[in-house]
Amino acid sequence: METYGILISDVYELLALANEEPHECGCHHDHEEDQECECGHHHDDPRDQIRELVDNEVIVQGWVRTNRDNGQIGFIALNDGTCFKNVQLVYDAKIVKDYKGLSHINTGAAIEVLGKLVLTPEAKQPFEINVKEYRLLGEVDPDYPLQKKRHSMEFLRDIAHLRPRANTFNGVFRVRNALSMAIHEFFQQNGFMYVHTPIITGNDAEGAGETFYVVTKDKDPAAFFGKPVTLSVSGQLHVEAFALAFRDVYTFGPTFRAEHSNTTKHASEFWMIEPEIAFADLEDDMDLIESCIKYCINYVLTNCPDEMVFFNEFVDKSLVSRLTDVVNSDFKRMTYTDAIEELKYAVEHGHEFENKNIYWGMDLQSEHERYLSEQVVKGPVFVTDYPREQKAFYMRLNDDGKTVAACDLLVPYVGELVGGSQREERYDLLKKRMEEVGNLKGLEWYLDLRKYGGCKHAGFGIGFDRLIMYCTGVQNIRDVQPFPRTSDPIKY
C-alpha cells in the first residue's frame, strides 16, 4: 500500500473532472481506460486517480476549524488553505491510538493526519478521511480569539493578522486573488501591455492636493529629489506616455490619498486599475469598460463558486442574482444633462432625496446615482458629458465649451463603480486648462505628449478594492484589504 500526500483542492477538482464526460479538447473516450483521444491527446483518467487514492493511504496537513467528539467517534473540519471548502476527518477510538489527545485538539491548531480517503457521494461533502494516525504540528493557546461562533466585523478588524482564517475573510481574499487574475487576463488577452508606473511622483494627477509627502529623516521635503515629492494618487499621467508608444496599456497597482475620511468607501492606500487606449474616443472607452466589468464578474462567478454561495447566503442574499443581471445587461448611456432632468422629475413627483436641491452643475451624490441606475434605467448606466468644473484638467472639452467627454459607470446597489474620459489631445486647449488650474509647472512633459505625435486617446480608472466590495457584497473597504491603511493609527 502506498501513501500519497494530497491537497484538498486537488481532490475536489479530480472528483469534479470525474463527473465530466467530455475533455477540454472536446473529445470523448472510455473512462475505464487511459488511452489516446481522437485528437491525439493522451489524458489521465481522473477516475483512475481517484481509485488510486481510495485504494491507498493519504496524508493531509491543515488547520482545525472545528473539532467535536462523542466519546467514541470524532469529527474535525480541516482546511489546508488550498480552497474555501474544508474536508471532514473522522476519527474512531478503536483505530486512532491517541483518541483522547486528538479529541482535545483546539480550533486553529495545525495538524497532519494519515488515513483513508472515503468517497461519500450521498453526503454533504463528496469525500472524507478516516484518520489512522495524526501529528500535532502547531498548538493553539487557550486565548485564541477565533472560536466557533459569529464574530463582528469590528472585532475581526482588530485582529487583522488572524482574520484571514475566518470564513468571510477567507472568501474575500480568495475573491481578491481571483479578481487580480481576471484583470491581468482580460487586458493581456486583449493585447494590452502592463506598465509599472512610479509610486513616488512629483505631480498630483487629480489636483486634489490630498497627498502624502515623501521626506527623509532631515524632514526637508526637497532634500532627496530636489523638489517636494509625494506618493502617487494615480498612475494615469505616466501610463498615457506609454499609450502613445504601445497603443493599449494598463497599470494596476497601489495608490495613496491623505484623506482624513472615516467612511466605508475610503482608505489611505488602495489599488487602482488604469487602462489607456490610443486612437480611441469616449465611446470606445465605454465599450472597454463594459467588457472589462462583465469579464471580471463572470470570472469570479466561474472561479469562486463556493465563495459566492457563502456570500450570497451570509452577506447579501441578492448578490449573485444582481451580479448575473449586470453581466446579462446592456449598459445604457445618458448625458449628465438628461440625468439632472430625471432627478428633477423624480423630486417633482414626490421622490424623497436627502439632497433635493437638483440643478445643472451640482455634484451627483450616491443617492442620485443609485436612483438613476436602480429606478430610471434599472441596470448599469453610463452618465456622460459632465460639467467641466467637476472634472480633472486632462479631460477633453466638448464642443459646447461647458462639458467634458467624461463618463461614470453607475450600477445598482453602489452607484459609481468606474470613472473614465477621453483625454484632451489638443495642445492649446490643454495648456490653457493647465494654466487655469495652476499645474503646468512640473507637468511640461505631459503637455509634450500633445506636441510629439499626439492623438486622441481615452482611459478609465477602477478602484480595485471597491470592485471587490461590489463582487462580494462586503460594505466596508477595510474588510476587503488585507491590512487596511486609513487615518486610524497603524497597528500592523
Residue type, 75: F
Give one word for 377, left, alpha or beta, with left for phi > 0 and alpha for psi -120 to 50.
Answer: alpha
pLDDT of residue 154: 94
CA–CA separation, 377 vs 342, rounded Å?
11
Residue 272 and residue 256: Cα distance in Å, rounded? 10
Of 138, 165, 198, which closes a domain? 138
Q: Are residues 67 and 210 in the same domain?
A: no
Pair 421, 296: CB distance under 8 Å: no
Place of cell 455634484: 363
Q: How many domains does the chain have?
A: 2
Question: What is the CATH number for 125?
Answer: 2.40.50.140
Per-residue pLDDT of the chain (492 residues; tens, 9 = 90+): 899 999 999 999 999 998 876 555 555 444 444 455 555 554 578 999 999 999 999 999 999 999 999 989 999 999 999 999 999 999 999 999 899 999 999 999 999 999 999 999 999 999 999 999 999 999 999 999 998 788 999 999 999 999 999 999 999 999 999 999 999 999 999 999 999 999 999 887 666 668 999 999 888 888 899 999 999 999 999 999 999 999 999 999 999 999 888 889 899 999 999 999 999 999 999 999 999 999 999 999 999 999 999 999 999 999 999 999 999 999 999 999 999 999 999 999 999 999 999 999 999 999 999 999 999 999 999 999 999 999 999 999 999 999 999 999 999 998 999 999 999 999 999 999 999 999 999 999 999 999 999 999 999 999 999 999 999 999 999 999 999 999 888 899
Does 13 share its domain with 125? Answer: yes
Plot region of 301 (φ>0 → left; ψ -120 to 50 → alpha; else → beta)? alpha
Whole-prediction pTM: 0.92
What's the pLDDT score for residue 36? 53
Instruction: Count CB neighbours of 314 within 10 A.
Output: 13
Q: What is the CATH number of the domain that holds 411?
A: 3.30.930.10
pLDDT of 489 reads: 86
Dist CA 218 CA 269 (whole Å): 25
Q: Please name the helix (run of DSSP H) or strand (run of DSSP E) that holds residue 55, with its range, or none.
A: helix 46-55
Could you identify the residue written with the cell 506616455? 241
Does one domain contain both 164 and 109?
Answer: no
Question: Same structural domain for residues 409 and 325?
Answer: yes
Residues 398 and 464 in one domain: yes
Between CA 191 and CA 120 the distance in angstroms is 45
Q: Give yes or no for a contact between 306 and 83, defined as CB atoms under 8 angstroms apart.
A: yes
Same domain, 229 and 321: yes
Same domain, 10 and 42: yes
Q: Is residue 126 part of a domain?
A: yes
Residue 226 belongs to what domain range?
157-479
In terms of domains, do 474 and 377 share one? yes
**H or E element that contains 282:** helix 282-303
437 and 468, same domain (yes or no)? yes
**Residues 454, 384 share a domain:** yes
Question: Using an 8 Å Cβ cutoff, are 356 and 344 in contact?
Answer: no
Give pLDDT, residue 33: 45
